A and B are shown apart, each in its own frame.
Chain A
Amino acid sequence: MAMPQTNALSEESPSTADIAVSARNVSKNYDNVEALKDLSLEFPRGQLTSLLGPSGCGKTTLLKIIAGLLEPSAGTVHVNGQAVTGPGPDRAFVFQDFALLPWASVIRNVAFGLELRGVATSEREAIAEKYINDVGLSGFEKSYPHELSGGMRQRVGLARALSVDADVLLMDEPFSAVDEQTRRKFQEDLLSLVANENKTFIFVTHSIEEAVYVSDQIAILLPRPSRVSDIIRPTGLREKDLTTIRRDPEYLDIVDEIWTSLKTYVE
């Protein structure tokens, strides 16, 4: 199992790019299990980087280490040049299961990040209002999460993450709990979000198609212990028309290539 660690970074990542987040030699052990081993990866500013891999490959673990929710056993993570010691206002997290307060209305949920930062009620509700509108939920401010569909709940989670205006958005399989049609709409919205907001997105997914569709850079993680096996930059796709990407030969080639490299790791 102990494969030599190839340093995919130095040759693949463009040296000129401004790096927003970098993970250096990060390892994480749970008791005797090595979840991550000596993993290094850089995340260019203003771009969307996907962490793609089979389940159990530690992609969520890496995301939570970047978020400061987990402590690495070894190695460091830097965000804007600052070493991560815990959660901070420079990062916001979007959860797979939305993590909304069931007893709070949409507007309070969206404003909750600001509430924890001590922003005054009227100010934070004005900000929340704007982002509720941005994610297309105006009119639902007074609704409760259980009155919304899965897709709408994740829009609330997204609005909450956006409203704290963090530099880095960490998304943990955000679309895996919503239905296929909603997911497609989300993916399109995410692309315009990346284009319009000057933020760095780190996106965990297990869907190859989703990763190729939305990413500027795809880090393929292999399991046990987790390491970066390859970095793919579907740069050609980003200039193309959104509506035709899915039948684009380049898109199909990249999806196929990734599948070939992952196939052997899927039980």
Chain B
Amino acid sequence: MKIFGIRLPRMSSLILWGLLWEIIGRIEFSFFVPPLSAVFATLFEIIGTAAFQKAMYETSYAFISGVFFAIVIGIPTGIIMGKNRLIDELLLPWVNIFLSAPLTALVPVLMVLFGFGMKSIIITTTLFAIWIIILNARAGVMQINRSLIEMAHSFGASSWEAFSKIYFWAALPEILGGVRIGVIRAVKGVIIGQLLISIVGFGALFELYSANFLMKHFWAVLIVLFALAFTISEVLAYLERRVSYYAAKR
């Protein structure tokens, strides 16, 4: 966007919203909205603390494990569903139900099944992320140019070669799109898991800060989380753009 002939960098509107926040904070409009500058000051204060670093570690651990399982299980499942009509018929209703289901309601069941620890949090994260990854990988495989498959077949490709040299690459733009959305959902999953299952990680910090009305701390942690989720999503969007140059040419 251009204003007065000056090209503004992307997202520069955030500065405007930040200013608004600062003003509302300064006029002490509400106890729940401290000035943004104070929030950032608190942010740098708590980043060094052991509590924050522990929360960061626990959250990253649950998040990375959860996303890892979602990707490693989700992509092959989606590809197999796209290739095999029978398996697709069997699994598709479940994938669709879980994609739109309010998974938060399932978390208590997971607690009973898998205990109150990290395991349940990781499973919650996986459950939040996996369905869209499956659906996108499936959609990617289903739009593959038939003649690419015939080509591989005619040159004697084995099933594994067709999978690893054709299906995966042809579906890659859709797969990455699914992973990006899945990862964003996993951020939700990991926080909800931490809040509901066992009070650890950022969930514990949120609980602590909001229970004690430490609003500056509360906002500081929230900003860290938003920034992390946003950064991860942007990195994946960048990767997606790098491979989608050929998506339109298939």
What is the interface of chain A, defined by CB distance below 8 A to chain B? 64, 67-69, 87-89, 91-93, 95-97, 99, 101-103, 112-113, 115-117, 144-146, 164
Contacts and interface: CB of A to CB of B under 8 A. Distances in A.
A103 B166 CA distance: 10
A144 B246 contact: yes
A93 B156 contact: no
B151 A93 contact: yes
B161 interface: yes
Given A97-B145, A102-B250, A103-B243, A116 B152 contact: yes
B122 to A, nearest CB: 33
Interface residues of B, number: 21
A103 B169 contact: yes
Contacts of A95: 147, 150-151
B156 to A, nearest CB: 6
Contacts of B169: 101, 103
A113 B153 CA distance: 10
B212 interface: no
A178 B74 CA distance: 40
A161 to B, nearest CB: 9
Interface of B: 145, 147-148, 150-157, 161, 165-166, 169, 172, 243, 245-246, 249-250
Contacts of B145: 97, 99
10 contacts: A64-B150, A93-B150, A99-B145, A101-B169, A102-B250, A103-B172, A115-B165, A116-B157, A117-B155, A164-B155
A112 B246 CA distance: 18
Contacts of A113: 155
B249 A116 contact: no
A30 B249 CA distance: 31
Nearest to A64: B150
B166 to A, nearest CB: 8
Majority-rule SS of A interface residues: loop
A146 B245 contact: yes
A232 B151 CA distance: 31
A117 B172 contact: no
A115 B156 CA distance: 10
B148 A103 contact: no
B248 to A, nearest CB: 8
A87 B249 contact: no
A191 to B, nearest CB: 24
A101 B157 CA distance: 14
The 5 closest A-B CB pairs, nearest first, are A102-B246, A99-B151, A146-B249, A99-B147, A113-B155
B246 to A, nearest CB: 4
Contact of B148 (A99, A116, A164): A99
Contact of A93 (B148, B154, B165, B243): B154
Contact of B153 (A69, A101, A115): A69
Contacts of B153: 69, 87
A92 B151 CA distance: 9
A87 B155 contact: yes
Contacts of A117: 155-156
Contacts of A87: 153-156
Question: Which of A99, A112, A115: most chain B CB closer than 10 A?
Answer: A99
Given A87-B156, A89-B156, A144-B246, 16 more contacts: A69-B150, A69-B154, A87-B155, A91-B154, A92-B154, A92-B155, A93-B150, A93-B154, A95-B147, A99-B150, A102-B246, A102-B249, A102-B250, A146-B246, A146-B249, A164-B155
A64 B243 CA distance: 32
A111 to B, nearest CB: 11
B172 A88 contact: no
Nearest to B247: A102
A89 B161 CA distance: 16
A112 B155 contact: yes
A68 B156 CA distance: 10
A180 B132 CA distance: 45
